[in-house]
Amino acid sequence: MRYEDAVESLFQAPHEQFVTERKRLAGELKAAGDKVGAGKLAKLARPPISAWIVDQLWWRARHAFEALFATAEQLRRGELGAAAAHRDAIAGLRAQAAQLLGEAGHAATEATLRRVTQTLSALAAAGGWAPDLPGALSADRDPPGFEAIGASNVIPFPVQHRAPAAAHHAGHDAGDAERHRPPEADDARLRHEREAAAARAEAAADLRRAEVERARAAAERHRLEAALRTARGDVAQREREVVRLERDLAAARHLVDQAHQVVAGLEDRLAQLDN
């Protein structure tokens, strides 16, 4: 087992089993000869429940997490049209976090979900998990540079500023155009905006439904994998029992053979006496 594999296994374990699993995996690494990795693993702190559920989102809702990173990258490139998709990505992951918390037997409190949202925003702003391994946070993250103004779910992106004179003329031009625009143009614009808003809302709803379905499938997969591990353990135990019984049977047969030899010897001696 490699150190990275041990970390992945550790941070997918149930929150309440983290310490026990850390000890077990560190022992496996040490037994495999990786004393350095065992020492590093033993020092990993158990994350708070808010950071732990963000880790679970990475392991169980990878597609949604990658969408979060993708929209954040678009915003960093100045593609302002990605702002709505970015907000939807965070909202979808927050909803899945609430669902996973409930499935794991933890309360999805507002305080916990707020920290989840802040950590998701911080990871998106950073563009990755460094210095931690993906899905292996031991602590919550704060979005860089935005805490003071309370904009914890904002991703920085470049803003294009116009020169004052250009802005002044643009304002006059826009005002003139507004005054001379015919009423039917306003109606068409409003209709277009309503249709666009409805389309965005429908797309966001579809995304949330798809993410919920993926989360359910991931939870079912997790349950089946756990059942499979248990069944494999039962098979291994029963195979060991079969080996033990076969060994005992072989020993018993050997004793029977010895008893037959004693009987045959005694019969031979009796036959000699009769003669």
Task: Give me the long-range contacts of 40-46 (CB less than 8 A, separation at least 24).
Answer: 40/3, 41/3, 41/6, 41/7, 41/10, 44/7, 44/10, 44/136, 44/138, 45/138, 45/139, 46/15, 46/18, 46/19, 46/22, 46/138
pTM: 0.54
25-68 pLDDT, tens digit per residue, is 999 999 999 999 999 999 999 999 999 999 999 999 999 999 99
Report helix, strand or coil for 78.
coil
163-213 pLDDT, tens digit per residue, is 444 444 444 554 555 455 555 566 667 776 776 666 666 666 666 666 666
pLDDT band at 144; cut points 50, 70, 90: low
How wide is the angle at C-alpha 227 spanned by C-alphas 222 and 233, nearest 5°?
Answer: 130
Residue 143 has pLDDT above 80, yes or no: no
Lookup result for tokens 């702190």: 45
Q: Are 140 and 115 in contact (CB under 8 A)?
A: yes
Residue 236 has pLDDT above 80, yes or no: no
